[in-house]
A and B are shown apart, each in its own frame.
Chain A
Amino acid sequence: MTPGPRHFLAVAAGGACGALVRYAATQAQPDGAGFPWTTFAINVVGSALLAGLLLLPVARRSPVWAAALGPGVLGGFTTFSATSEQVRSLLADGRTGLAAAYVVGTLAAGLVAVVVVGGLAPSLPAEDEL
């Protein structure tokens, strides 16, 4: 299925919401100089929710809602760039062990979350997996 303008608008609107929730979370609980727990939690929770997206009837029924919630809200909520920059910054400060723990910890927790939650949910159609 080729996405139309409605899909792009849905993704943009969802992305705005997701980014706002991430911003609010990092304002409420800033990452600070140690292990970036807030970004870690955002990425793990967002991964779990994306894997479970099709547990929501509205996402199963409507490709536009699936785009709004998946690539939109959850894509905008989670961030890979912040993780890259945090790892770069930790390495630049000589905190190699912490950087490695952060990378491996986020990957491991994210994969476990996706596999566990995904085991409960129907698979996402490929075009909605952004």
Chain B
Amino acid sequence: MTALLVALGGALGSALRYALGQRYDDRWHHGTLAANTVASLLLGACAGWALHGSALALIGTGFCGGLSTYSSLMVQSRDLGPARGAAYLVGTIALGLGAATLGFTLAG
């Protein structure tokens, strides 16, 4: 049952990330950046709410994990070149940490 919820959340999150990327990734990867930031905000909130069991499997492990991506962040950063790639990386990490902190604080 838990595995099914992870799969369902992962499917929804991944499809949403793909849609955001197709729509908003251009010279800057705004779509992927938004997906990673929103997923970090929501996962921080999951920690603040102390979600566990089925809810954590669906929303945290499944949806947030599927919505966010580390592999694309790495490949996109490489392709942007040293200066813009570094800016994209640092920006994504700072926004992700800020979003997780905000989500945790608001939910706690």
| Residues of chain A whose beta carbon lies under 8 Å from any beta carbon of chain B | 2-3, 7-8, 11-20, 22-23, 26, 42-43, 46-47, 49-51, 67, 71-72, 74-85, 87-89, 91-92, 103, 106-107, 110-111, 113-115, 118, 123-124, 126-127, 129-130
Contact = CB atoms under 8 A, between A and B. Distances in A.
Most buried by A among B8, B72, B78: B72
B12 A46 contact: no
A22 B104 CA distance: 23
B96 A129 contact: no
Where chain A touches its partner, the secondary structure class is helix
Given A26-B61, A88-B101, 6 more contacts: A23-B57, A77-B71, A80-B68, A80-B73, A84-B36, A130-B21
Interface in B39-81: 39-40, 42-44, 46-47, 57, 61-62, 64-79
Contacts of A46: 70-71
Interface in B76-106: 76-79, 89, 92-93, 96-97, 99-101, 104
A82 B66 contact: no
Interface string B10-24: 111111011101100
B74 A50 contact: yes
A126 to B, nearest CB: 8
A34 B99 CA distance: 22
B74 A85 contact: no
Nearest to B2: A23
Contact of A15 (B31, B39, B44, B66): B66
A110 B92 CA distance: 15
A4 B70 CA distance: 24
Given A51-B75, A84-B100, A76 B19 contact: no
A69 B22 CA distance: 16
B40 to A, nearest CB: 4
B59 to A, nearest CB: 11
A64 B12 CA distance: 17
13 contacts: A3-B22, A12-B11, A12-B12, A19-B62, A19-B65, A19-B66, A23-B2, A76-B11, A84-B43, A84-B68, A87-B100, A107-B93, A118-B78
